[in-house]
Structure 1
């Protein structure tokens, strides 16, 4: 027994504890997952930096006069806001010659009645129309407008947004460029870090000709680049769908950073509103990423954006938990001695806080998609200012 016992000890003199080896393995696996998950984000960031650099390049554009413009306003139960919206549209269009307004209404309240009364009072019945009893759903109204609008340019604007006259002229000037087929403004009322970063990304993506996300509160399109196939009413995200469609024949869909709009104070930015938008965006990005009619660049950027909304928040959470575990001693960071775990924990935690609110909306939207709950029909929520 003696020699055999010594032989066993010689082969395995210090049996490893299961907890130590498990911690090293867990940390290594977590690190691999984090690096793999963040790789598409790094590639996306390179494209964004390229777009930002192109934005500083001096370029000469060819401009042509826009012949006719139609403003389309989809409405549903907007009796609180509609008069102010129409007053705003009339003010910013005062200097335009060939200009018309079409209000596509599917309301159950007095929205159509108030709009009709405004048109009669202002004496603009020749060019302003209210189309009542429309099919419910903003995308349905937009698709119908594509079929009925005969102007050279169609401007889509939400009933709950206010646009400055100078901003509107900046939008029209951009649309008068020969190479631009679609343009949109940016939300000037939201100055959060998340929104600032998002606006910077969207402007940069448009600089490289790969706009996959648009702002529906104020956007314009050249009708020559749109058709009924440009929009799928089952998907929502009508503005972003039209932006991608406008780029398929060599055109550009651009963000105009000088063109800003703001939501009216009665707008309730509820969780349901955010989740509905997130659901439409996820559907849109999935479809455009797989659509062979799109350019490789459009499909790539759509995939990067889908990854950013769905995978990156989880990678940041895992990075924060892992680095926090190293700092607290729960994980063995022997293999990562060259990295500052505290710094990585702070960075990942800060980024996680920035994207957390949006990520919750996205994951809630995906869960509702899985369980079959469709949020494509918009239901505006308003608070009276009285």
Structure 2
């Protein structure tokens, strides 16, 4: 039994990571199609930014609902239905006739794809004990820069030779394959036992406590530098620095791979020190310093600005796994899906405003003011962070059972892992 338990947790991690990578490529990687949108669709920079924001609008519409589905019916159902529907919407986008139709289909893709934001995190956290949860969520969150790296490497060349439709086709395939894998192989994590006659629902983790709200605010503030950098790094390298699009995409893909490594290291750090908050504070402060250097380098046309941009591609995503883990742990297994949904809504309200507003700011004032604003938001995140971690309100019994089984090697612990 013990031999089955540990591999199952890693299989769930692989499914959650693959699902997140596919949805990231499809929903967040569209910024790398901005030049293609402008050339093939004839839209302005602000209009291209609006198309990039359409999936984010859809994510906002679906996050809390998918979180409730995952809390009540399980992660397998959420991922196994949401991702195939995302694939269908992206296939429709590849065939869309007109910018308005394309925008509607991208909103639908975001609404269906938001199942990943709520359900895949629950799937991972529920199968790992606290002492390994930071690394496991680091692996899962590393899928986001991996997905962005795939988008940077694959979408611009596809769009160059086949137009945006070819890029949308790849996104549809990725979401369809990972959705089918989740439907076939995902296993919902164990839930804590509750008395048969229990009628009182689990108390809300938001009641008389600002801890989660502060974490939500931190995540929203850190989304601004992340999407200023992710959304306009290609534009900065090609228009401000004169790089060829293919070369810029390759370099940014490598920078995003470095971001995946940074997330893993951040998760390991948080496990080692027994805190999610302390590493977040240091990483947010480092992000702020780097963005100040980036703004200065962009203003003075210095090579240091390019170096700071590449470093920012890794630093701006370094805290994502930490604050998602902190939210899910504190909310507990009965409320984690909805808490992660609310957490994602705060981030995506920021994300949906960044591409069009940053695009307009860059078009009117250049890149330095946008990078400086991103630095201010990173400083705001440092200020908003809670002073310390809080103990979870309800234990994640799955992690405890997995940990106990791995230490004791006893078959008697295996049933506990299913309770």
Higher strand share: 1
Q: TM-score, normalised by structure 1?
A: 0.23
Query: Which structure has more RCO (C-alpha within 8 Å, separation ≥ 6)?
Result: 2
**Rg (Cα) greater in structure:** 1
More helix by percentage: 2
